[in-house]
């Protein structure tokens, strides 16, 4: 599938081994579907038709769980070498028809389409700009990268992810505050806490 020119693509990373969880956390139930579904729904709401899912561990099961929610599925055969390889694989798959790419983690269940739109608004079409999410005293994903950074992203390796690109271009980085991005799922207790939070009536 080819994206429209000038598009922002959402790159949802779902390739990791989840060793701390003891099972594939992305396939665990949360609400009305697997954990993976929440990030994909947010990405679809913000960037309909431009959602790329990167798989690795349990690739077939993850892709099946994402059926109908990803416009392109990219298998990273080197996923065990670290998250950097998954970012690189995804960027190489969609850079030719994207002006910016938002790197998302599939285990951040509280990301919203509104926040993803805010990242795009802050980017403003500037190819050299990086827009990170600010939370818990740090900057991190989801993070949007303008096209000037695709070369660096496409050769990442190891476990540092895109942080090396962010740190090397600190003058280009702006942020959008979004504290819910601090919630990610590493352990079964993390998942239980989020399930409890989501089950409470909204004020």
Q: What is the pLDDT of residues 132-164, one digit of tens each?
A: 999 999 999 999 999 999 999 999 998 888 999
Burial class (CB in 10 A: 0-12, 13-18, 19+), 63: middle
Q: How far apart are CA 106 and CA 58, in angstroms?
A: 14
Q: pTM of the prediction?
A: 0.93
Q: What is the pLDDT of residues 35-75, one digit of tens each?
A: 999 999 999 999 988 999 999 999 999 999 998 899 999 99
Q: What is the CATH number of domain 7-199?
A: 3.90.550.10
Q: How far apart are CA 116 and CA 114, in angstroms?
A: 5
Structural domain spans, the chain: 7-199
């Amino acid at each position: 599938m080819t994206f429209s020119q000038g598009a922002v693509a959402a790159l949802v990373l779902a390739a990791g081994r989840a060793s701390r969880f003891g099972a594939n956390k992305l396939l665990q139930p949360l609400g009305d579907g697997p954990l993976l579904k929440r990030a994909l729904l947010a990405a679809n709401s913000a960037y309909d038709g431009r959602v790329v899912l990167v798989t690795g561990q349990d690739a077939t099961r993850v892709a099946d769980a994402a059926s109908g929610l990803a416009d392109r599925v990219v298998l990273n055969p080197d996923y065990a070498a670290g998250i950097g390889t998954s970012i690189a694989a995804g960027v190489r798959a969609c850079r030719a028809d994207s002006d910016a790419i938002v790197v998302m983690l599939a285990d951040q269940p509280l990301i919203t389409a509104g926040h993803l739109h805010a990242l795009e608004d802050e980017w403003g079409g500037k190819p050299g700009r990086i827009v990170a999410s600010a939370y818990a005293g740090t900057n991190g994903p989801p993070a949007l990268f303008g096209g000037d950074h695709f070369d660096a992203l496409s050769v990442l390796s190891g476990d540092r992810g895109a942080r090396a690109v962010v740190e090397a271009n600190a003058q280009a980085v702006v942020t959008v505050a979004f504290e819910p991005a601090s919630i990610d799922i590493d352990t079964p207790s993390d998942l239980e806490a989020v399930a409890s939070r989501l089950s409470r009536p909204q004020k």
